[in-house]
Structure 1
Amino acid sequence: MWTVGQACAALGCCALLLLFFIMVLQLLKQRHPKGFPPGPTGLPLVGNILALASEPHVYMKKQSKIHGQIFSLDLGGISAVVLNGYDVVKECLVHQSDVFADRPSLPLFEKMTKMGGLLNAKYGRCWTEHRRLATSSFRTFGYGQKSFDDKISEECMFFLDAIDTYKGKPFDPKHLITNAVSNVSNLILFGERFRYDDTDFQHMIEIFSENVELATSAWVFLYNSFPMIGILPFGKHKQLFRNADEVYNFLLSIIKRFSENRTPHFPRHYIDVYLDEMEQNKSDPGASFSTENLIFSVGELIIAGTETTTNVLRWAVLFMALYPNIQGQVQKEIDLVVEPNRQPSLEEKSRMPYLEAVLHEILRFCNVVPLGIFHATSKETVVRGYSIPKDTTVITNLYSVHYDEKYWHDPDIFYPERFLNSSGQFVKKEAFIPFSLGRRHCLGEQLARMEMFLFFSALLQRFHLHFPHGAVPNLKPKLGMTLQPYPYPICAERRQSGQSRAHC
């Protein structure tokens, strides 16, 4: 019989041996294969994770000055390759699009979506089937309809009328912008919009937004490297998982609600189309359509369609109040093109080059999705002489693309005129890729561009935007998978029809 002391000593020895074994495994994982891109030296076990705690996109751009446009990071035993600058991003995502179209099998993605659904699906049949279905649905129920422009304009009216209720007094625009933008996606997914006072839907959107922030926390990086910390009763990753469970249950309930009274093969929205596919493929054991993947894909489409466009418009409102002269110039252009008492339409977009330039500069300057969604290599490849093995995590630093000095003069300056030629006409820029490139580029790009133009032009047509007296906004972005502005108060005063106002 062992004494209590002997038993404790034995357990201590076992714990030390286990810790030693884990450390050896982790150090072996941190060894790079021959020909792998170099990168900054990391700490034992955690690698470069701690360096990513604050502004990881900026850190990566600085490291590219030292190690080159393609370099490696050690994410706690997960070897990642970072692509910086337009040239190497294009080289990989366009010229080797199939190779860089996979997603990394990280513990977070495996737990949240089991590598299914749409955005995080592995590059294979599941992704192909869900991408095709989503693209077709966006076209059929969205921008492919002539009447869809009118539906967005109708949502603009709800949005503007809600702002009117504040009667020029300060308010935080985040709530109303989020509601309005999400409703455009809701028309495609569910065939209906949600009222701005629908508390259940608002709660779900808030949870989505919180998870976007939590997904890039140090706890999540640690969880991906050491999934065994999932047993701990604390940590931001635990909150993320609780949120995901709550959203899953909510989405299941609204999918059931919006599939009621469904007539097979006569779809009214994305959910009906998906259920038709499930029925048609039920005898195919390899088909990826399932209730679980329907929930994952609906959730991903909601968050992708809401979070990015919402934050672009929030930055747009902030910058118009910050630069009243630019705001006035946009309003002057709107007043010259659009008849009084009528909302701007997409047909008038080409006649508003300055407004287009302002929106593009906001997208470039603010970099709402600075690192995109992580990619992975589907097979071994070579880039600029470096050997990159299959299943390597790849980070595309889109921030570095939009601040690439080779393509942008004085990139740290907010300057909409960079998108205009000498005649004042809008010009496209090659190194402008806020929706990414290649196989995994944003499938909602066309819809997002429609929304941004219609909401932004309608807002500035009706209101003059300014900060409350004495208010100084925080221009540093709030970090997460997206870069969003910190909450700020804004005053929206009715403009006199046809007159631009430049004073605060």
Structure 2
Amino acid sequence: MVSIKRLISLFSVSWEQTLICLGSLVITLFILLVIRQLVKQRRPRGFPPGPTPLPIIGNILSLKCLAGEWINDEYCYFIIQIFSLDLGGVSTVILNGYDAIKECLYHQSEVFADRPSLPLFQKMTKMGGIVHPNMKVLTLFIPPHILLNLYISEECLFFLDAIDQHQGKPFNPKHLVTNAVSNITNLIIFGQRFTYDDSDFQHMIEIFSENVELAASGWAFLYNAFPWMEYVPFGKHQKLFRNANEVYDFLLQIIKRFSQDRVPQSPQHYIDAYLDEMEQSATDKATSFSQDNLIFSVGELIIAGTETTTNCLRWAMLYITLYPRIQEKVQMEIDCILNGRPSALEDKQGMPYVEAVLHEVLRLCNVVPLGIFRATSQDAVVRGYTIPKGTMVITNLYSVHFDEKYWSNPSIFWPERFLGCNGKFVRHEAFLPFSIGKRHCLGEQLARLEMFLFFTTLLQRFHLQFPEGFIPSLSPKLGMTLQPRPYSICAIRRQQ
């Protein structure tokens, strides 16, 4: 009996010591990880200054300042031309104002053309997508302007007829605008448009839009800093991953559907051409053509071809409804030039006021306020500061369009700033909604054409007004893109 009690006593002591040792080990490891993270957060010699980072998470909470929401004494950093942020151990340089961005993206275009290697991007796309050699496949199926004009003009009729069904009663235009714009990209990718009541496609577009918002959340940046967060069962990053998996499965099925009747080497759309290239390079171990990359490419094309242009048009409709006098001037110019016929690409030159309005929408709304994230391909020197190779670089395009050196009263919606004394359209140097340099937006020309044709066709047929008593909000929803908050309008048939 005594020996048994003594054994239990020894076991208890041993167990307590084991727990103490394990606890000490966990605390020690935690302290070492914290020290390692703090060392990572130290700015390199000659690096641009910035706000003091918080331990571990750095300046992630300061990201919303880049969209003009200043936080106390941090304001001083967000009005200088170059500074740095620590995004959970990811050293990032922010370029503010037109002069600094032009110096880097235009004069040092090659140096600032890399894509940052972020864990979130790697997980979501495996670094695939349209940036790889399959870009040449896409160029085969970008129609000439004449055919694009036809695609968009035909979609405009579906768009107007769908609006007509509301018979002047209030409706939220987001759904219809998103469908109309995405169908132009769908014609290129699939060779076919989707009807506005296709619930599966609608659901996918909603998920895409949600992920664009989630990708700019604090959780996403925390994941970039701590990839092991993938195993944390809660947080917005998990919603992001669930959405991505759902979209992946949907795109896989839709790609299979549109490739069923494929004739090899006789491509009818982007998917056919990609599969041709994939088969030809099947024996090349270094090829980037694969089924996964096809799915990621299609997803990127749909997002790029839908999200930004949709939000631009929604902002344009919001502002043109908010300012009836400007809407009246736009419609007078449209009526004068078109005289009842459909709008076309060549009409842009004859509509300087319409062009001015659309440019002012792009300037003021800053749909992609931080542009495309970049990384330095080699060590760089900017304004006397040293930026090491591989540093992530964010171009604050929002700051360009509110740079008082180039824009008077930049917070005011004033299309006339794009008109000369003779009433002709005037280009502004510090107008960069599509960025500049080697990685500027590849879809710029398509986006401009879509905006012009949808906008002029809409206002040719309808007068837009808000429902009685409705007060719209001009405060955007923050994300990778800035989209207007939901609003309703009434589209009244015009008497021409």
On the 8 A contact 1:64/1:70 being kept in 2, the answer is no
Matches of residues 142-153 of structure 1 in structure 2 within 5 Å?
142=143, 144=144, 146-153=146-153
How far apart, in 2, do the equivalents of 1:245 and 1:167 lie?
39
Matches of residues 355-366 of structure 1 in structure 2 within 5 Å?
355-366=354-365
How far apart, in 1, do the equivalents of 2:322 and 2:229 lie?
44
How far apart, in 2, do the equivalents of 1:178 and 1:451 lie?
12
Q: Deviations over 1:25-55 (max 9, x none)?
A: 1011111221111111111111111122x45
How far apart, in 2, do the equivalents of 1:232 and 1:4 lie?
29
Q: Look up the match of 1:428.
A: 427
What residue identity is the alignment partner of 2:296?
A: F
Q: Look up the match of 2:174.
A: 174
How far apart, in 2, do the equivalents of 1:192 and 1:254 lie?
12
Q: Look up the match of 1:95.
A: 107
Shift of 1:389: 0.7
Shift of 1:400: 0.6
What residue identity is the alignment partner of 2:382?
A: V
C-alpha distance 68-55 of structure 1, shift in aligned 2 (>3 A): closer
How far apart, in 1, do the equivalents of 2:396 and 2:96 lie?
5
How far apart, in 2, do the equivalents of 1:169 and 1:482 lie?
29
Matches of residues 307-322 of structure 1 in structure 2 within 5 Å?
307-322=307-322
What SS class does the counterpart of residue 477 from structure 1 fall into? coil
C-alpha distance 208-445 of structure 1, shift in aligned 2 (>3 A): same
1:77 aligns with 2:89: yes
What residue identity is the alignment partner of 1:171?
A: F
How far apart, in 2, do the equivalents of 1:67 and 1:178 lie?
35
1:226 aligns with 2:230: no
How far apart, in 1, do the equivalents of 2:147 and 2:158 lie?
17
What SS class does the counterpart of residue 134 from structure 2 fall into? helix
How far apart, in 1, do the equivalents of 2:224 and 2:281 lie?
34
How far apart, in 2, do the equivalents of 1:406 and 1:131 lie?
38
Q: Look up the match of 1:469.
A: 468
Matches of residues 318-357 of structure 1 in structure 2 within 5 Å?
318-340=318-340, 342-357=341-356
Q: Look up the match of 2:443.
A: 444
1:411 aligns with 2:410: yes
Alignment match of 2:137 (pick from 103, 115, 133): 133
How far apart, in 2, do the equivalents of 1:7 and 1:242 lie?
40
Shift of 1:227: 1.7
Shift of 1:325: 0.4
Q: Look up the match of 1:395.
A: 394
Which region of structure 1 is more displaced relative to structure 2, 89-98 or 482-491? 89-98
Q: Deviations over 1:298-356 (max 9, x none)?
A: 1001001100000000001111110000001000100101122x221112111110000
Q: Look up the match of 1:247.
A: 247
C-alpha distance 432-145 of structure 1, shift in aligned 2 (>3 A): closer
How far apart, in 2, do the equivalents of 1:75 and 1:393 lie?
10
What SS class does the counterpart of residue 493 from structure 1 fall into? strand
Structure number with bigger Rg: 2
Shift of 1:101: 0.9
What residue identity is the alignment partner of 1:406?
A: K
C-alpha distance 180-64 of structure 1, shift in aligned 2 (>3 A): farther
Shift of 1:147: 2.8
Alignment match of 1:37 (pick from 18, 32, 48): 48
On the 8 A contact 1:213/1:480 being kept in 2, the answer is yes
How far apart, in 2, do the equivalents of 1:233 and 1:467 lie?
43
Q: Deviations over 1:164-219 (max 9, x none)?
A: 00000000000000000000100001100001011111000000000011011111
How many equivalent residue pairs?
A: 483
How far apart, in 2, do the equivalents of 1:5 and 1:437 lie?
64
Q: Deviations over 1:341-397 (max 9, x none)?
A: x22111211111000000000000000000012101111111122111111000010
How far apart, in 2, do the equivalents of 1:66 and 1:339 lie?
48
How far apart, in 2, do the equivalents of 1:316 and 1:439 lie?
28
Q: Deviations over 1:114-138 (max 9, x none)?
A: 11212xx5xxxx3xx1333333432
On the 8 A contact 1:189/1:271 being kept in 2, the answer is yes
On the 8 A contact 1:101/1:375 being kept in 2, the answer is yes
What SS class does the counterpart of residue 73 from structure 1 fall into? strand
What residue identity is the alignment partner of 2:119?
A: P
How far apart, in 2, do the equivalents of 1:83 and 1:103 lie?
16
Q: Look up the match of 1:117.
A: 129
What residue identity is the alignment partner of 1:215?
A: A
1:57 aligns with 2:56: no
TM-score (norm 2): 0.94
Q: Look up the match of 1:501.
A: none
What residue identity is the alignment partner of 1:132?
A: K
Shift of 1:3: 4.9
How far apart, in 1, do the equivalents of 2:442 and 2:87 lie?
29
How far apart, in 2, do the equivalents of 1:435 and 1:3 lie?
66
How far apart, in 2, do the equivalents of 1:45 and 1:429 lie?
42
Shift of 1:240: 0.2
What SS class does the counterpart of residue 478 from structure 1 fall into? coil
How far apart, in 1, do the equivalents of 2:47 and 2:305 lie?
36
What SS class does the counterpart of residue 448 from structure 2 fall into? helix
Q: Root-mean-square deviation (CA), in Å?
A: 1.6
What residue identity is the alignment partner of 2:326?
A: I
How far apart, in 2, do the equivalents of 1:215 and 1:91 lie?
28
Over the matched positions of the two proteins, sequence identity in percent amounts to 65
Q: Look up the match of 2:268.
A: 268
Shift of 1:64: 6.2
Alignment match of 1:13 (pick from 24, 43, 48): 24
Q: Deviations over 1:412-455 (max 9, x none)?
A: 11110011100110111111111111111111111111100000
What residue identity is the alignment partner of 1:412?
A: S
How far apart, in 2, do the equivalents of 1:404 and 1:439 lie?
23
Q: Look up the match of 2:187.
A: 187
Alignment match of 1:27 (pick from 29, 34, 38): 38
Shift of 1:60: 7.9
How far apart, in 1, do the equivalents of 2:387 and 2:139 lie?
31
Which region of structure 1 is more displaced relative to structure 2, 467-476 or 217-226? 217-226
How far apart, in 1, do the equivalents of 2:118 and 2:100 lie?
24
How far apart, in 1, do the equivalents of 2:316 and 2:260 lie?
39
C-alpha distance 65-236 of structure 1, shift in aligned 2 (>3 A): closer
What residue identity is the alignment partner of 2:202?
A: Q
How far apart, in 2, do the equivalents of 1:408 and 1:372 lie?
20
On the 8 A contact 2:79/2:96 being kept in 1, the answer is no
